[in-house]
Amino acid sequence: MTDTAALDALVHDWLTIPDVAERLGIDVGKVRRLVQEGRLVAVRRGERNVLSVPTDFLVPAHLANPAAPSSPAGEDDDTEGTAPQWAVLAALRGTLTLLDDAGYDPGEAIEWLFSPDDVLGRTPIEALRSGSKTEVRRRAQTLL
């Protein structure tokens, strides 16, 4: 199990489950289901031991799949001025599955995603957010 202080050194911004629900525009139960289904991972942290998710797991909806981004809301239609809609980073699910298959618990998975990787030349989460899903999954498969 990963030390929460070590995670806090790697992950600078966290969201509680209610904050994730608000950002995604869904109820808390659906966020908990996303965690149960392996679409998100969360760890307990802080003095109150609150279940939290790294903020970097969420992206503006038009960037959910960085390999094929769409136009942001308001750019192509009359919804100008509306708040951006958010989504879970699409490439996260398969990567989390590989890490789970390798025996990583949620804390270890987050640690791996946010730790610099010499082969990738950046952290795996940075690579996923920029559309390099295949490279990251190749690296994760070496853990099996």
> Taking the C-alpha atoms of 20, 8, 51 and 40 in order, what is their torsion angle to the nearest 10 degrees?
50
Secondary structure (3-state) at 88: strand
> The whole model's pTM is what?
0.88
Could you give the CA distance from residue 106 to residue 38 in angstroms, rounded to a whole number? 10
The tally of CA atoms less than 13 A away on the side-chain side of residue 83 is: 6
Parallel/antiparallel/unpaired status of strands 14-16 and 50-54: antiparallel
58-67 residue pLDDT tens: 999 988 888 8
93-104 residue pLDDT tens: 999 999 999 999
CA torsion through residues 26, 16, 50, 2, sign? positive
